Amino acid sequence: MNFIKNNLANAFTLANLFSGSIGVIQLLNGNYMITAICIILSLILDFFDGFIARALKSNSNLGAQLDSLADMVSFGLLPGIVMYKALEPFGTQLFGMELPFEIKYFGLFITLFSCLRLAIFNLDEEQTYYFKGLNTPSNTILIFGLYYFVQEKNISINEFSETPIVLIFITIISSWLLISPIKMIAMKFKSMKLEDNYPKIALLFGAVLILILFKTIGIPLVILYYILISIVFQRQLK
């Protein structure tokens, strides 16, 4: 019984890794709908592994390391591959120059900075009731949400962006946000006082409204709203 109690959360973490791995493979194969399902499953499993560990008081260093390693695939490698796929049609051309490598590899900078962000998070003891920088699951939703919208509307990448500059710019901004010093709202409650939770309330109501109004394109818009509302409430995030 103790074995199950001590390892149930780790089983959820490994399931997150399994789902993320399938998502990456399916994305490379062009099955973005299956990738979307895998991301949703990974998000759910990532939430419940921590919840179970706290509920069963089975937190461990092993669990913390497993969690980061699983997130590195589901929310680090996967968004990098999304941008890799998005940049694929542009070949080796940039600013009219012929590069010695394909531009699509720039997309993997998101993976590199996701790895750096997870390492910083593991060492930073301040990030209990807020995040510093955009967390990797939110970044994955932002990057994949944009890609999903383009695919769903049957818009070619060249129609979305005639040159790779826009996508490279998104890659740079995404990478910077992951390690930025900007405090971001975490859905963890330090106090039950209404005034202490205004940022979370504003985030929840705004997110629901955006999804109702904009549907599919609302998914990445929710993350942009999350970043904006976090900046607005910087002083309250402690």
pLDDT, one tens digit for every residue, the chain (238 residues): 676 666 788 899 999 999 999 999 999 999 999 999 999 999 999 998 888 877 777 777 887 889 999 999 999 999 999 999 999 998 888 777 888 889 999 999 999 999 999 999 888 877 777 899 999 999 999 999 999 988 888 777 666 667 789 999 999 999 999 999 999 998 776 666 766 678 888 999 999 999 999 988 899 999 999 999 999 998 888 7
Asked whether residue 224 is domain-assigned, the answer is: no
Strands (E), 104-165: 130-132
DSSP H/E element including 93: strand 93-94
CA 117-120-124 angle, 5° bins? 135
Domain that holds residue 79: 2-185
Number of compact structural domains in the chain: 1
Asked whether residue 211 is domain-assigned, the answer is: no
Q: What is the 3-state secondary structure (H, E, C) of 33-58?
A: HHHHHHHHHHHHHHHHHHHHHHHCCC
Asked whether residue 158 is domain-assigned, the answer is: yes
CATH code of the domain covering residue 101: 1.20.120.1760
**Considering only CA atoms, which of 139, 128, 237, 230 is closest in space to residue 179?**
139
As given in the structure block, the two tokens for residue 41 are 């499953």
Question: How far is residue 192's CA from residue 195's CA, in Å, rounded to a whole number?
Answer: 9
Amino acid at 59: N
Asked whether residue 102 is domain-assigned, the answer is: yes
Question: How far is residue 136's CA from residue 118's CA, in Å, rounded to a whole number?
Answer: 8
Q: What is the pLDDT of residues 78-136, one digit of tens each?
A: 999 999 999 999 888 877 788 888 999 999 999 999 999 999 988 887 777 789 999 99
Is the pTM above the cut of 0.85? yes
Asked whether residue 219 is domain-assigned, the answer is: no
Asked whether residue 196 is domain-assigned, the answer is: no
Asked whether residue 59 is domain-assigned, the answer is: yes
Asked whether residue 235 is domain-assigned, the answer is: no
